[in-house]
A = this chain, B = another copy of it.
Amino acid sequence: MRQAGRYLPEYRRLREKLSFLEMCRRPEVAAEVTLQPLRRFDLDAAIIFSDILLPIQAIGVGLVFTRNDGPMIRKPVRNRAQANRIRCFSPEEELHYVFEAIRLVRKELDEKIPLIGFSGAPFTIASYLVEGGHSRNFEKTKGLMYEEPLVWHNMMETLTNGLASYLKAQVNAGAQALQVFDSWVGCLCPEDYRKFVFPHSKALMEKLKQLGAPVIHFGTGTSELLPLMKEAGGDVIGVDWRIPIDEAWRKIGFKKAIQGNLDPVVLLGSKQDIRKKVRSILIKAGGRPGHIFNLGHGIFPGTPVRNVAFLVDAVHRLSRASAGNV
């Protein structure tokens, strides 16, 4: 969850010299930034430095990042003609720098910890394409879904195929696990998810299965969507803090692994509060195998570095202790 990034001074020093996109596009910089948090913290996995929207650069919709690294799309997709622009979507052809960064990181990591590759899920990518940036109500996305279902499904199918190739190329380059971020899917009711998203997420997950790398299927605000997300696929389901992790695990069944679910806001507070929240999550997870401790969403730029160090240590310490009690 943005394990590399603006909360690290060594990241900010690089960011002063380069734009966010340039940082992603230079393999040696992306690799360096990926490795930065690993030098500071005793993390159990690395995640490649990139952005969930990088694949849509290949479409030519004018993806740019604002000064705060927020994505903006200059030519959003709002009708059939605009959707046709993305008919040939093969992001893997243009994203060599991502694969090169993955290769560089793998070389550095030297099998000590696994490297995770990632991408946005079809719905979340589509929502950015249609809205033109982050949205509060997703009215244009839902509008296209409802009013032009064929255009919507075609676009989702195209995105799904492109994202599958892109993620496959990441595994070929050395990614040992994948995370698919359906970050904004929680704006939908289960009925709409089933109709407009599920078939495509399921198709993507089916394709990823053949790669042999475990897949984390993540979303926020997904209380009511979890059974469907589980059915769509993924070896691990990632959840945010809005749902207690035991409740979420019951919803997806204990045969699936689960990832989560510390509210990143907690990292802005005191060590005492961090410890309290970590303990509460570990107690709820019950020391059961298949729990991957993680934040429920991206880390905030203002997070004190010492709090991240404290968190990583607390998770290790307390999970050993709780495993002893189970």
Given the known interface contacts A137-B300, A189-B263, A280-B191, the answer about A242 and B268 at a Cβ–Cβ threshold of 8 Å is no
Kindly identify, within residues 190 to 234 of chain A, every residue whose CB is under 8 Å from any CB belonging to chain B.
190-191, 221, 223-224
B224 touches A242 (CB 8 A): yes
Q: Does A138 contact B (CB under 8 A)?
A: yes
A146 touches B243 (CB 8 A): no
Q: Does A139 contact B (CB under 8 A)?
A: yes
- Chain B residues with Cβ below 8 Å from A138 are 265
- Chain B residues with Cβ below 8 Å from A264 are 137
Q: Does A247 contact B (CB under 8 A)?
A: yes
Given the known interface contacts A224-B223, A243-B223, A270-B146, the answer about A137 and B191 at a Cβ–Cβ threshold of 8 Å is no
A143 touches B191 (CB 8 A): no
Q: Does A244 contact B (CB under 8 A)?
A: yes
- CB contact between A268 and one of B143, B269, B280 (< 8 Å): that residue: B143
Given the known interface contacts A190-B244, A300-B137, the answer about A265 and B142 at a Cβ–Cβ threshold of 8 Å is yes
Q: Which residues of A contact B (CB under 8 A)?
A: 137-139, 142-143, 146-147, 186-191, 221, 223-224, 241-244, 247, 263-266, 268-270, 273, 280, 300
**Interchain Cβ contacts under 8 Å between A and B, 29 examples:** A137-B264, A137-B265, A138-B265, A139-B265, A142-B265, A142-B266, A142-B269, A143-B265, A146-B266, A146-B269, A147-B269, A147-B270, A186-B221, A186-B242, A188-B242, A189-B241, A189-B242, A189-B243, A189-B244, A189-B263, A191-B244, A191-B280, A221-B242, A223-B223, A223-B224, A223-B242, A223-B243, A224-B244, A224-B247
